[in-house]
Amino acid sequence: MRTWVYRVAHNAASSHVLRRRRVNPAKLVSLEELELVADSANPERWVSEQQALARLTDMIRALKPPDSQVMLLYLEDINASAIGEITGLSARAVATRIHRIKAVLTKRFQEGGQDD
């Protein structure tokens, strides 16, 4: 039941985001960007972390929808078998996909976010 609810909620949210992007191509704001209080002890570090997070988020958004969906669910700490039930993939395929996407994202991140 839990994975079914995730799947329905994810599909509804995905459809909403796609419609919103078509109608209003303005940049969407994440919860992290809404955070108003910066770490007062080290603002340079906070800014650097926010920039890195923004780059990573942009790279995940640039992935094809199935890959993006898998990575977002992975970042929500959902295990491979549950992600497989939500996406319709096998748990082994999900684990392989996560491993490959992480390798690609790591490479792109180290190269400065440039596409291949």
User: If you ran DSSP here, which 8-state letter would residue 113 be given?
Assistant: S
Is residue 29 classed as helix, strand or coil in its secondary structure? Answer: coil
pTM exceeds 0.85 for this model: no
> Between the CA atoms of 105, 110, 114 and 116, what dihedral angle is there, to the nearest 10 degrees?
-60
Q: What is the pLDDT along the chain (116 residues), one digit of tens a residue?
A: 888 898 899 889 888 878 877 777 666 656 666 565 444 457 787 788 888 888 888 999 888 888 999 999 998 899 999 999 998 999 999 999 999 999 999 998 888 755 44
DSSP 44-61: HHHHHHHHHHHHHHHHHH
* Residue pLDDT, tens place only, 30-60: 666 656 544 445 778 778 888 888 888 899 9
